[in-house]
Amino acid sequence: MTLGACEDMRKIYVRLGKAVPKQGIELGQVLTSGCGSGGLIEQDLIKERKVNSSFTIDSEVLKGAFYEMNQQASRYQRTGGLHSAALVKRTGLTVVQEDVGRHNAIDKIVGAALFQGCDLSESGLITTGRLSLDMVLKAIIAGVPLVATRSIPTNLALNIAKTAGITLVGRAHLKKRYLYCHDKRVT
């Protein structure tokens, strides 16, 4: 892998040394990290993409995945200042990543899942941070049918998830969780 940056350090370029399995993500497509940045591509993305998946997860497995994610978040345990994100299958947690930014933690999860050959259409994405529009757009691009958080989604994130067919779950680590849309995936 090679990394490069433009002179003003505002763009970073990454070239991978090995092929990444193409599972719903178009290589060469760019979705930047950070609050609000994804809004510029929202309309085109939604017109073209719908997440269709038969993925379901038991509510207790989902709740347990949050507990397990927190147990594996070693950097958070040491510092108290990071976000975590994880990929969850019907049977439980598979991949955990941490980062100071909630958007970056999700980027790391999608990247790790692709390198491991995970079928993202049969997975859920869980995170510790508030779900913004950008984070739901990333799930749409990756083809992830369920996004759950310990926090809550923004209104824009909820509207886009409804349109794209993504299940959104807030306060998912609690017994009284909020199933915002497409709730049949949580049994």
Q: Looking at the annotation, which residues are catalytic?
A: 35
List of residues 6+ apart from 130 with CB closer than 8 A: 102, 149, 151, 152, 153, 154
Please, what sign has the CA dihedral across residues 143, 148, 149, 153?
A: positive
Give the residue from 103, 82, 97 showing the smallest Cα distance to 34: 103
3-state secondary structure (DSSP) of residue 144: coil
Cβ count near 122 (within 10 Å): 15
84-99 core/surface letters (b: 16 or more CB in 10 A; e: else): bbbbbbeeebbbbbbb
- What's the CA gap between 131 and 114, in Å, rounded? 22
